[in-house]
Amino acid sequence: MTATTLVAFDPKPELLGTVRTYKATAAILRGSCVSFDATGVSGSISPSATTLGTFAGVALTSQATVGGPVSVAGVGSVLTVMMAADDSAIDAGHWVMIGAVAGTVIEYDPAIGTHAATQDTQSTAAIGITLEDSVAGAATVGSKVKIQILPQAQQTASS
């Protein structure tokens, strides 16, 4: 397994649900998963990471300028996202969540009691369901998979 370096790519939207324009607070690449900033500034997003707020959607445009506009596909959209490793394999019908590499996804395991340590260090909310099997990546480019964006409520491990 090689860790992914996120690169801009065409998410090949098959169906667009909600689409909204936000302000970038960091460089954003087309095709990356984006989240609301943890500070909760209205309309501000950054590439999804474990330290950010709630998932907002997938960037349909790239933006290098802080404060610049980014079109984001949201709930109901069907498009392609990048996984956190070049050899990630996931079958259709599985859930995904934000991965450790900013802007990417990994498979979501709903058995939070068993996998609480992994989810506490990454993300504990499913953001979508896979519609097809993943396609392997190459070198440092992550595998890709088509999903329908269906964000779930954030969950936390119980003590």
Residue 36 lies in a domain: yes
Q: Domain of residue 123: give its range.
A: 19-149
Give the number of domains in the chain.
1
Residue 8, domain member (yes or no): no
Closest CA to 21 of 77, 75, 70: 70
**Does residue 156 sit within a domain?**
no
d(CA 108, CA 140): 22
- 105 domain-assigned: yes
C-alpha distance from residue 109 to each of 48, 102, 112, 128, 156 (Å): 18, 19, 7, 12, 13
Residue 147 confidence (pLDDT): 97
In a domain, 82, yes or no: yes
Residue 12 belongs to some domain of the structure: no
Q: Per the domain annotation, does 4 fall within a domain? A: no
Q: What is the CATH number of the domain that holds 142?
A: 2.40.300
Q: Phi and psi (nearest 5°) for 78?
A: -120, 115
pTM: 0.88
112 domain-assigned? yes
HSE-CB of 135 using CA atoms within 13 angstroms = 10
The rounded mean pLDDT for the chain is 85
* 80-93: pLDDT as tens digits: 999 988 888 899 99
| Kind and range of the H or E run holding 118 | helix 112-120
pLDDT at residue number 153: 77
